[in-house]
Amino acid sequence: MSSASTKPILLYTWSTPNGYKPSILLEELKAVYPGFDYDWKSIDVWTTNEQKEPWFLAINPNGRIPALVDRSRGGFHVFESAAILYYLERHYDKDHKFAVDADKDPDAWSEIEQWVAFVHGGINVIQAQANYFRHSATDKIEYAINRYLNETKRLYSVLNTRLEGREYLAGSGKGKYTIADINAFPLVNVAPYSGINSYDEWPNLKVWLERIRARPAVQAGLSVPQALSF
């Protein structure tokens, strides 16, 4: 990556579900808006702890990935994966390909916000705890492992119910592929790492997952900085 890059967005990321949310949307934007492109910088949050260095804390005071700098808007900083999706949508998706026009269709926009909030405040947090107690905690606390695993499953059931007769989480009719789906997909996609070995109890969610996985931009986004294997 050249320091003289003319690409508007510089994304700081790593191969995790939260990191993949913006890289998927950026790849989707690249696919539909000729000339749009972005740079990314890998922050290895597992081994380097670069995310806790002062230069990075100036971008994200929470010291976590993802975060971005918008060179075309005076170096404006954005952190929190869901906020990044909203930001990119507002400034780089002028035709509302991955959302709706909030002024023209405020209820459809509200639905997007609701499903983003449900995942950001729910699955994001709970599944992270499921992962922590399963993989990282030095004490294997059965109660905590089961509590967060079961709560993750309950939240998946809410998504599954929402997806009954629908293809996507928000939008009228069968729904429209939006940032609500992009925000949820990378988490559901790593369910096996969280101790969920089969999606069979959520048939609507399973089909939704496959539908989104099949998108070329999603596959491209899942390889920034690299594909996750576990």
Ligand X SMILES: N[C@@H](CCC(=O)N[C@@H](CS)C(=O)NCC(=O)O)C(=O)O
**Residues forming the site for ligand X (CB under 6 A):** 16, 18, 45, 51, 63-66, 80-81, 124
Smallest gap from residue 62 Cβ to ligand X (A): 7
Minimum separation from the CB atom of position 70 to ligand X (A): 16
Q: CB neighbours of 104 closer than 8 A, spacing ≥ 6? A: none
Minimum CB distance to ligand X, residue 164 (Å): 27
Query: In the Cβ-directed half-sphere of 145, how many Cα atoms lie within 13 Å?
Result: 14
Q: Is 66 left (phi over 0), alpha (psi -120 to 50) or beta?
A: beta
Report whether 108 contacts 100 (CB < 8 A): yes
The residue (of 116 and 209) whose beta carbon lies closer to ligand X is 116
Cis peptide before 66 (omega within 30 of 0): yes
Residue closer to ligand X (CB basis): 54 or 173: 54
Shortest Å, Cβ 204 to ligand X = 25
Distance of CA 195 to the CA centre of its chain: 20
Burial letters 12-24, b for 16+ CB under 10 A, else e: bbbbbbbbbbbbb
CB-nearer residue toward ligand X: 189 or 204? 189
**Residue nearest to ligand X as judged by C-beta position:** 64
Minimum separation from the CB atom of position 64 to ligand X (A): 3
- At position 70, the amino acid (one-letter code) is D
Based on CB atoms, which residue is closest to ligand X, 77 or 206?
A: 77
CB of 11 to ligand X, least distance (A): 12
AA identity, residue 56 = F
Please name which of 212, 226, 217, 229 lies closest in space to residue 26, comparing C-alpha atoms.
217
Question: In terms of CB distance, is 80 or 105 closer to ligand X?
Answer: 80
Min dist CB 137 to ligand X, Å, is 14
- Measured CA to CA, the distance from residue 65 to residue 160 in angstroms comes to 28
Give whichever of 81 and 178 is closer to ligand X, judged by the CB atom: 81
Distance between CA atoms of residues 84 and 22, nearest Å: 7
Q: Which two tokens mark 183?
A: 């925000």
Q: Retrieve residue 159's tokens.
A: 């998504």
Q: Which is nearer to ligand X, 18 or 152 (CB)?
A: 18
